Structure 1
Amino acid sequence: MRYIKDVPSKDFKIGIYQWNNKYIIKVETGMFEQTYKIDQYEVETVEEIEKCIDEPFLRAVAQTFDSMGGQFQATLLRNEVIF
Structure 2
Amino acid sequence: MTGQSVTHQDLDPEAWIGGAVAAGIVPIDYAVMLRWQTGTTITGHGSTPNDDIEKVSGQKATIFREFAQRNAHARTATAAV
Q: Same fold (TM over 0.5)?
A: no
Higher RCO structure, 1 or 2 (CA under 8 Å, sep 6+): 2
Larger Rg: 2
Q: Which has the higher strand share?
A: 1
Higher helix share: 2
